[in-house]
Amino acid sequence: MSTESRAPEPLPPSPWEFEPERWPADDCVGLGADLEPSTIVAAYRAGAFPMPDGPHLLWWSPLRRGVLRPGDLHVSRSLRRSLRRFTITVDTAFEEVLDACADPERPGAWIDDSIRAAYVGLHHLGWAHSVEAWDTDGRLVGGLYGLAVGDFFAGESMFHHATDASKAALVGLCERVGDGLVDVQWRTPHLESLGVVEVSRAAYLAMLARHVDRPSTARWH
C-alpha cells in the first residue's frame, strides 16, 4: 500500500536541458540522459517523456499529441451504468497499478525496471499519482498512473481486468483534475471515443505552458 499523497517535494535543477526549439520533426526527440526525478519533471515541463527501447533511454514528444480536457470527457450511458460497479480511489495502490500496467504479456509492454523505480520514487516525492478502480469484492480491477505538474497531468499508462474499469479510473481522474489538462501521449480510437483530441506539437506546447505553472487544483486524496 502506498504512502498518503502530499504536495510534491522541491527538486534540484536537472543537469539536462530539454529544448523544444531544437527537436527534430520526429516523435522521438532525444536519447540518453537519466531518470532522476528532476530530469523527468524537467522533461514533462518541456513537453517530453521517457520511454525506453531495449537498452536505450529515449525521449518522446509526438508531433501529433493526444490531450483531454476533463470537461470534454465523454461518458456514455452504458459507461455511466458501469461506474456503479466500481469504487474509485487515488494513491492507495500506486505500485500495484504500475505493475499491472507493466505486465510483460501486454501488447507493446515497455515499462522496465528502471522506469518502475523512477516513477515509484516520484510517487514517494509527491509527483506521481495513481487512480484505482475496485470491484464490489474489493479487487483491484483497473487503474492508471502518471505525473502531475502544476495544473497538468501526464497519463503514463492504464490497465483493466474488468470491462470499463480503466474508463472508470479515467472518469475518476478527470473529476479530480478539474480544469486542468490531461496528456495521453498518443490518441487511439479507444481514447478518442472518450473525448481525447489530437493537436500539433506546437499547439500542445502552448497549452502546456499555460498549465504547468498554475497552482494545482487536483484533489489527490
Pull the grid cell for residue 37: 526525478
Fold of 65-211: Aminopeptidase (3.40.630)
Give the 3-state secondary structure of residue 12.
coil
Structure confidence by residue, pLDDT tens digits, 85-115: 999 999 999 999 999 999 988 887 899 999 9
Cα–Cα distance measured from residue 150 to residue 210, given in angstroms and rounded to the nearest whole number: 10
Cβ neighbors of 49 (< 8 A, separation 6 or more) are 43, 59, 60, 61, 154, 156, 185
Residue with cell 499529441: 65
Cα–Cα distance measured from residue 113 to residue 73, given in angstroms and rounded to the nearest whole number: 32
Cα–Cα distance measured from residue 150 to residue 44, given in angstroms and rounded to the nearest whole number: 11
Question: How far is CA 18 from each of CA 32, 110, 140, rounded to the nearest angstrom?
Answer: 12, 22, 37
Pull the grid cell for residue 64: 501529433
Structure confidence by residue, pLDDT tens digits, 2-61: 444 468 999 999 999 999 999 999 999 999 999 999 999 999 999 999 999 989 999 999
CB 204 within 8 A of CB 67: yes
- Give residue limits of the domains in the chain: 20-61, 65-211
Structure confidence by residue, pLDDT tens digits, 171-212: 999 999 989 999 999 999 989 999 999 999 999 999 999 999
